[in-house]
Amino acid sequence: MEKGQASIEFLLVLITALLLLSVSANAISNLHEAALFTIDVKNAKSFLDEANAKANLLILLGEGSESAIETSIIGEWEISQKQNELTIKNPQGKEKIFAFPKNLSVKINEKSFTGKNIFILKKEGQSVSIFNK
């Protein structure tokens, strides 16, 4: 009877350990996704700050003047736009909304981005348009 009891106790301990391991793995995965999204949000903020600085410079230059911005995306961005707001959403459904200056007119052909991307800023009248290359 002692061998049977030891086997049952071992199985209970093993099941408990596996359960704790699976819960921990899920929590670590969620933390990893949140960290990557936070880094992407910082990258997006840096991109918009750089776009604003270059747009202010382009306003002073002649019609048709251009400048480029390169950005790196760790995950995947789905971008949507409403008036002067740019919404960046990741595949897990987390999103961040950024307001951009009124002198920037954003025209993005693609709606999904990953990896390195180059965006072109071009002066058109009294505004600057951003196009993805």
CA distance 79 to 112: 6
- Each residue's pLDDT tens digit, 29-56: 888 888 888 888 888 888 888 888 888 8
In the chain, domain spans? 2-132
Each residue of 52-107: pLDDT tens digit? 888 888 888 888 899 999 888 887 878 877 777 778 887 777 788 888 777 666 66
With tokens 């202010």, the residue in question is: 56
Beta-ladder partners of 70: 118
Whole-number pLDDT of residue 108: 65
β-pair type (95-99, 66-82): unpaired
Contact assessment for residue 94 and residue 74, using Cβ atoms and an 8 Å cutoff: no
Other CB atoms closer than 10 Å to residue 48's CB: what's the count? 21
